[in-house]
Amino acid sequence: MITSVVNVRAGNYDVKIGHDLIQDVGKLTAAVHAPCRIGIITDDNVAPLYLSAVKASLTYAGFEPHSLVLPHGEHTKSMEYYSRLMETAAGWGLRRTDMLAALGGGVIGDLTGFAAATYMRGIDYIQIPTTLLAAIDSSVGGKTAIDLLAGKNLCGAFHQPGLVVCDIGTFSTLPDEVLSDGAAEAVKYGIIRDAALFRSLLGGKENFDADYTVKRCVEIKADIVGRDEFDHGERKLLNYGHTIGHSVEKLSGYSITHGHAVAVGMYVIARAACAAGLCSPDVARDTEKALLSWDLPTSCEWDYTALAKAAVHDKKIEGEKISLLIPKRIGEAYIFDIPVGKLTDFIGAGEKS
Ligand code: NAD
Ligand code: GLY
């Protein structure tokens, strides 16, 4: 088992990465929290696969598990299911010393984390990611949120988990396109921080080394979050491709998944940055190669005007500027603020190039 430690203001917590860890969830949780009631939140795809093993492990370790199975999909990251989760937690009689556990992908992780941040003004929770995306990104770092009708992740909180248990074996049941969603975020880490990681992903699913990828991405995330927990500076790099990605998700009514949308967003920005002379010309070409090797999209049905318009409603806008992340070369990126009014022209130049 590999352990990656995340250092954040609320304390340190471990990200345990390995195989067959689902059956050790109880033991690992007992090492960081006294046995208590624990509300396991999961979705209807994950529950039949892993819920009983997690419950059995927690029961064996002395916990009193309860569970709530929600529908899968982005629409579950909503006020409706947040409200259902909170009322259910109250119905279980959870107190401030009790916990929640997120068993699933990023949707369940973000929703459960936000519920934990706000139930009785904040209780502890653990993350048990079962998608590649959740393992390498959403389960680590304490960003929790639900979506509002006005946009994605607009209602949220920073609330770090007490533990992350990542069982790489759970990826074996993922549909290919869900694995690819995670690969998009892994490509992101490669572009912003690690050219070797990027190159390792060029072989697609057939040559995928999940152990190496999860370990390396979590190391990068832990490193960045340890220095900028609250997203004031360096952490913005982790949003590479997300400004346009969020536009794609929103314009599609969330029928395009997060990872696929981020893939489009990364390629749009890479082309725009190349057209503006802000990065080496091979960045867009290499990005395209990596995304296509995972059957990820590089374009969408909305043109640059629609994408830019949707993006200006995104929460990352501060004052009159929008923060974009620009890859200087594969393995290095920087934060680039442009006036909101120039976004359309900036990405338009990339689309026309
Ligand atoms: P997801 O949670 O919707 O999961 C994708 C699908 O896979 C779902 O249908 C789910 O039921 C299914 N599934 C999950 N685990 C499975 C398994 N082991 N076997 C079979 N099926 C399984 O999507 P996701 O890609 O994991 O997460 C996307 C979400 O994460 C978005 O809402 C995004 O905004 C959020 N996110 C958050 C952060 C953060 O820092 N908090 C970072 C990146 C993304
Ligand atoms: N996924 C962006 C972040 O955690 O900051």
pLDDT at 327 over 60: yes
Please, are residues 25 and 165 in contact by the beta-carbon 8 Å criterion? yes
Atom of ligand 2 nearest to the CA of 143: 4
Task: Give the residue whose CA is nearest to atom 1 of ligand 2.
Answer: 238
List all residues whose CB is within 6 A of at least one atom of ligand 1: 43, 45-46, 49, 72-74, 77, 104-108, 110, 130-131, 133-134, 137-138, 141, 143, 170, 173-174, 178, 181, 258-259
Q: What distance in angstroms lies between residue 109's CA and the mean position of ligand 1's atoms?
A: 8
Atom of ligand 1 nearest to the CA of 173: 19
Task: Give the residue whose CA is nearest to atom 17 of ligand 1.
Answer: 174
pTM above threshold 0.75 = yes
pLDDT band at 212 (very low <50, low <70, confident <90, very high): very high
Task: Give the residue whose CA is nearest to atom 2 of ligand 2.
Answer: 238
Q: What distance in angstroms lies between residue 307's CA and the mean position of ligand 1's atoms?
A: 23
The CATH number fitting domain 176-352, selected from 1.10.10.10, 3.40.50.11540, 3.40.50.20, 1.20.1090.10: 1.20.1090.10
pLDDT tens digits, one per residue of 188-206: 999 999 999 999 999 999 9
- Angle, vertex CA 54, rays to CA 50 and CA 55, nearest 5: 115
Sheet holding 317-318, edge to edge: 317-318, 321-329, 332-339
List all residues whose CB is within 6 A of at least one atom of ligand 2: 137, 141, 143, 231, 235, 238-239
**Domain 2-173 belongs in CATH node 3.40.50.10190:** no
Listed in order, the ranges of the chain carrying CATH 3.40.50.1970 are 2-173
pLDDT at 151 over 90: no
User: What DSSP letter does each residue of 192-204 carry, written as one string?
Assistant: HH-HHHHHHTTTT
Q: What distance in angstroms lies between residue 235's CA and the mean position of ligand 2's atoms?
A: 7
pLDDT at 318 over 60: no
pLDDT band at 129 (very low <50, low <70, confident <90, very high): very high
Give bridge partners of residue 99 from the DSSP assignment. 38, 124
Contacts of 48 (CB under 8 A, 6+ apart): none
Q: Report d(CA 267, CA 260) in Å as an integer.
A: 11
Query: What pLDDT is recorded for position 281?
Result: 84
pLDDT tens digits, one per residue of 86-116: 999 999 999 999 999 999 999 999 999 999 9
Listed in order, the ranges of the chain carrying CATH 1.20.1090.10 are 176-352
Atom of ligand 1 nearest to the CA of 43: 11
